[in-house]
Structure formats: structure tokens, C-alpha cells
Amino acid sequence: MLRKKRSLEANIPSSSMADIAFLLLIFFLVATVIDVDTGIGMTLPELSDVDPPPVSKDRMAAVLINENNDVLLDGKPISLFQIKSTLKPRIISKIELPKKKKLIVSLKTDRKTAYHAYISALDQIKMAFFEVRDEYSNSKFGMKYRDLSDEIKKQVKDAIPIIISLAEPEAVK
């Protein structure tokens, strides 16, 4: 009397499984990024026998790092992580000056300086320039530097050019 009805054979429609697999495949193809390279970009100066023209003292900010990774900025010993805050006011003070009077940061190391100290210093210098650029574009155009259009970007770039001179290290006796 009370017999269970025999249920019909239930099966999941599997014809669309292929489409799902394709969709997954395409999603992962688009979404995967294969090891993006990040780093600090620099341009080396051309090799020439002619000595570079002399630069006035107030244009220069000389960063020296010795073999114990101590930092000297314009003769004053500071810590590696003070470079940015020390350079920023100097960069800002030269924004309105003509192109030939912008700040040049010279970075000089010893042959025995550790690479990580050099990179940290370079990083600090670059960060100083980047932050000044950001502040300048924020106050003038109300946007961060990277959100600006190419034309205005060039204006900012002209106002705050990144000039870093890599001096050849002195030989250690």
C-alpha cells in the first residue's frame, strides 16, 4: 500500500560543462600575470673623455656612503632614512627656478659599500622626488602625479626633474 514511488532517473545536464571549463580557462589566461619586474630605473651617463662642466655648490646635494654604510649629506652625517626628509625641502625650494638651477643629487659610494645601502639611498632620493611631484601636482592640479594627463605630467616633470648623478666610487686603499 505505502510503497515508495520509484523515482525517475535524475542526471545533471553536462553539456554545458565544456563551456564552464572554457570560461575558467579563459579567466585564468587573462588573469595570470607572469612575474612582473619591478625595480628602480636609471639611465647611465654616456662614456666621454670630456669632464662634465662644473656645477655651482648650491645646486648640488652630495650623498656619500662609506664602507660602514654611514651617510654623509653635504658634509653632515645623517642616517640612511633621513635622506628623504632632508632632500625634500631642498627640492621644493628649487621648483620655481629655471631649468638650469634645479637640484642635482649626487650619489657616491665606496667600493666596499654594501649594495643594499646603495639601493636604500637611491630609493630614498627617488622617493623624495616622487613625493615632491605628488605634492606639487596635488596643490596645483588637485590630483596625484600618476593620475595626470600626459601633457600636465610633462609640466610637472619639467618643474621637478629627477637628476641623480652616480659618481664613480673612490678606490679603497
Question: What is the four-CA torsion angle of 121, 125, 126, 128, rounded to 10 degrees?
Answer: 140
Return the half-sphere exposure (C-beta side, CA atoms, 13 A cut-off) of residue 52.
9
Q: How far is the CB of 111 from other proteins (least distance, A)?
A: 3
In the complex, the residues that contact other proteins under the rule CB under 8 A are: 14-15, 17-18, 20-22, 25, 34, 36-47, 109-116, 118-120, 122-123, 126-127, 130, 166, 168-169, 172
In the complex with other proteins, which residue's Cβ is closer, 101 or 146? 146
Local structure of 121: helix, strand or coil: helix
Q: How far is the CB of 14 from other proteins (least distance, A)?
A: 4
Q: How far is the CB of 151 from other proteins (least distance, A)?
A: 20
In the complex with other proteins, which residue's Cβ is closer, 150 or 168? 168
Burial of 166 (0-12, 13-18, 19+ CB in 10 A): middle
